[in-house]
Structure 1
Amino acid sequence: MKQILNIAYYEMMHILKERVLFLMIFFVPLLYASLFGLVYVSGILQHVPLGIVDLDHSKESRDVVSAFENTPDFKVIPEVTTYAALEKGMKTGLIRAGVVIPEDYSQKLSQHQLTQILTIYDGSNLIYGFNTRKYFQQVLNTFSADHTAAYLSGLGMTKHEITNVMDTVSYSMEIWYNPTLSYATFIYMGLALMIFQQIGLLGIGLTATREKERNTWIQFLSAAVSPWKIFLGKALPYYIANFFNYGLVMWVAVRFVNVKIEGSVALIVLLGLLFDIIVVSAGFVVSVYVPNSLLVTRYLMLISVPIFVSSGYSWPSTHIPKIINELVRLMPYTWMAEGFRLLTVKNLGFSYLVDKIIVLIVMAAISLFFALTFSKRRKPPAQTGLAVNGSISYPDKSCLRL
């Protein structure tokens, strides 16, 4: 135990001395989490910039304009009053949606003829497009219902009769799990878990390569210290720091970004502990067998984007090609992200997460096995490649003594 703690102390001293490494482990996760939090803090897209072209200029058309002005979903831009201005505004990004009221709107309305209001939205951004289409339907459905009720009232029908006519067919709608359709609840924790994984892998992934580049790894390999003790000593500071970051990011998510995080605290902790074991163990194995820090950095950078995109977190796995689905199921992030969402957003219990937990346990056991039993056979250090950990420092031999 003393050897493990001595190695852990030695590794912690390196973390504290290496300014970049220290910032990466203790501040970058919080920095990234705060940055993403600022981006997604609103959660719900409102005040969509809207241009209205009123070609009728009647009382009836002004009622339509008022319906859009009196909803928080849209923000009417007064500078846009012509079709040419509408086109220009859509091109420049001044507006994201438009409404064109035809010049014969009031005339057709008075004659009870079919009249159409043209609605336009910018589909180049799907988030804007999805929400704008929904908001258009809400505003125009409400306006149409009010207009119909006013017409029936003019015919002398009572309020009760109008209600019976208009409510012949009705429906109710409920949104479960994310009732506000908050984009922050949908995407934020997926990005945060990816940060947790990549920073954790990079931190532990530079431990052995740092020693190789300084030619001090030989002291660990030649010392009478078991491989599992070297791993535990090297990994302990990173394991603690990663789990601290896991809790810190969730606190930021709940406190400042208003992300929905519910479910059993014990299960949240269990998922975090298992994922942390996998990240630290896998990162150490990479560090042992990859020759230098530059290659470690390259490999980890290459895998981050594909894993997130194809994991099924942001795009449904049912609509991802089967071969890609099978490949990403080999990655712990896929199981962790899906399990975390089921737990924190849907508030599901252990019985719904058991398959995810079992897979993470198996992955943790496999990664731990390879980390604890790495070969102490010396390999010649790489002669080329950038040393990410550049300062010169040597381990105190006392950390390897019995």
Structure 2
Amino acid sequence: MRFLLLLRRLRSLCIKELLIILKDPANRLVLIVPVVIQSFIFGYAATYDLNFVPYVVCDQSRSPLSRDLIARLDGSEKFSRQATLDSTAEAEKWIYDGKALLAVQIGSDFADKLLSGQSADIQVILDGRNSTTASIAQGYLAQIVEGWNAARGIKSPVSIVMRAWFNPQLETRWNIMPGMLASLSIIQIMLLAALSVAREREQGTFDQMLVTPLSPWEILIGKAIPPIVVGLAQAAFILVICVLWFHIPFAGSYVDLFVALGVFTLSCAGLGLCVSAISLSMQQALVYCFVTLLPMILLSGLATPVSAMPKALQIATCANPLRFALVCVRSIYLEGSTLADVAQNFVPMLAVAAVTLPLAGWLFRNRLS
């Protein structure tokens, strides 16, 4: 009987919180518009795809074979020849000034070697200041050269074999957009959870809530559930955008995906409630949230692989639930992994929830006393 009474009180509190969130037109605007805008911004703008490769060429062979290969580069959609040089020494200034991403040098014995059945080398000088674009450009060039070899029936003694699992076209959107399921969810959940108590204090309804039969723990649970529900609903909305608009194929199980997201949202709610418990105003809650969220997103592996970070930062990411949520979401979405495959990532997320939720309860109880 007492348990049923507890459930009724929690239900009433959750309904109140959801009504507060959804009845305010400004809140509805904040819940919908940023998700749509950020989804499209990250889907279109946050991409590592290289669509324009300015290059210079030094053709010392000046043979029909070398001109045919250069024509293959010029005829591609991505490569754009900026200049034809007499020596590779001239390429230094083009690359240094950023006017060319790479320089291609074809030796004077290029045609003679190919006609005699030998392999011929092509020197490629890359602008390594941006290693990502340089690697991508190098890959594009290798594909064109291999295609030229195949068209002429030439077998290169050094061949490049590349396979792209889970993303055959190497579209970075396939990597970023599934990550938005977790990244945008943590923003909304933490903001809603952090502002819940601060809003009550500023609106003067916090004291009224204290005289109700609800215990601090019941208030805490009632404040945690609505942000989690909203976060999961937004993740579902982003999932629809990924599948139906951007046509990113979903390889896993929707149940597994939302189980993983559910575990993740527990830790997000715990972090948000900790911020809510220590904040005296909505302004303080917003500042604390953004101070916390920015490092979490930067250290999550959303844009930069965690393995590429300094060792100290790699250790720091172990306390970041977003890092492990991204691994789960991308594995389930792109690779078709099951819960058993990603279960080890639940441990740090549950550990964060196990620390932050009791801590929020302790802080909340002490602020009430």
Deviation at 1:49, TM superposition (A): 3.6
Contact kept? 2:149, 2:156, Cα under 8 Å: no
Looking at structure 1, the residues matched to 160 and 184 of structure 2 have their Cα atoms a distance apart, in angstroms, of 42
Cross-structure match for 2:338: 349
Higher helix share: 2
* Distance change (3 Å), C-alpha of 1:4 and 1:53: same
Match of 1:334 in 2: 323
Question: Which residue is equivalent to 1:248?
Answer: 237
Report the number of matched residues.
361
Distance, in Å, in 1 between the alignment partners of 2:52 and 2:339 is 40
1:80 aligns with 2:83: yes
Q: What amino acid does structure 2 have at the position aligned with 1:122?
A: D
In the aligned structure 2, how far is the partner of 1:290 from the partner of 1:305? Answer: 18
Structure 2 gap segments, 5+ residues each: 1-6
**1:142 and 1:16, CA in 2 relative to 1: closer, same or farther beyond 3 A?**
closer
2:262 corresponds in structure 1 to 273
Distance 1:248 1:56, change over 3 A: same
Residues 60-108 of structure 1 deviation map (CA, whole Å, 9 limit, x = unaligned)? 3321212213444x3334x534579977765676653333446786678
Distance apart, 1:287 and its partner CA: 0.5
Percent of aligned pairs with the same amino acid: 22
SS at match of 2:124: strand
2:4 aligns with: none
Work out whether residues 80 and 86 of structure 1, in 8 Å CA contact, stay in contact via their aligned partners in 2: no
Counterparts of residues 10-25 of structure 1 (less than 5 Å): 10-16=16-22, 18-25=24-31
Alpha-carbon distance, 1:205 to partner: 0.7
Deviation at 1:131, TM superposition (A): 0.9
- CA spacing shift, 1:210–1:319, aligned 2, 3 Å: same
Cα deviation for residue 194 of structure 1 reads: 1.9
Q: Does 1:33 align with 2:39?
A: yes
Kept in 2, the 8 Å contact 1:25–1:203? The answer is: no
Which of 325, 328, 348 in structure 1 is aligned with 2:314? 325
Is contact 1:205–1:283 with CA below 8 Å preserved after alignment?
yes
CA deviations 1:314-366 (Å, max 9, x no partner) are: 54545545543333212221221222222222222232222223443444454
CA contact (8 A) 1:30 1:248 kept: no
Gaps of 5+ in 1: 150-165, 381-402
1:291: Cα distance to partner?
Answer: 2.3
1:8, CA displacement in angstroms?
3.6
What residue in structure 2 maps to residue 62 of structure 1?
67
Alignment partners' CA distance in 2, 1:179 and 1:147: 26
TM-score (norm 2): 0.79
Contact 2:142–2:160 (CA under 8 A) maintained in structure 1:
no
Which has the larger Rg?
Answer: 1
* 1:103 to 1:224, Cα distance in 2 relative to 1, 3 A: same
Q: 1:234 to 1:309 in 2, by over 3 A?
A: closer
Q: Distance in 2 between matches of 1:310 and 1:113?
A: 49
Residues 295-314 of structure 1: pairs in structure 2 closer than 5 A: 295-312=284-301, 314=303
Instruction: Work out which of the residue numbers 140, 149, 155 in structure 1 matches 2:145.
Output: 140
Residue 109 of structure 1 and its aligned partner are, at CA, apart by: 7.1
Query: 1:237–1:50: structure 2 CA closer, same or farther, 3 Å change rule?
Result: same
Contact 1:49 1:76 in 2 (8 A): yes
**Relative contact order, CA 8 A, sep 6+: which one is greater?**
1
Q: Distance in 2 between matches of 1:171 and 1:66?
A: 21
- The DSSP-based 3-state class of the residue aligned with 2:335 is coil
Q: 1:53 to 1:377 in 2, by over 3 A?
A: same
Q: Deviations over 1:267-295 (max 9, x none)?
A: 11101212222222331232022222233
Q: 1:140 to 1:238 in 2, by over 3 A?
A: same
Contact kept in structure 2, 1:44 and 1:180, CA below 8 Å:
no
Question: What is the root-mean-square deviation in Å for CA atoms of aligned residues?
Answer: 3.8
Change (3 A) 1:338 1:115: closer
Alignment correspondent of 1:290: 279
Deviates more, 1:96-105 or 1:213-222: 96-105
Once residues 373 and 300 of structure 1 are traced to their aligned partners in structure 2, the CA distance between those partners, rounded to angstroms, is 19
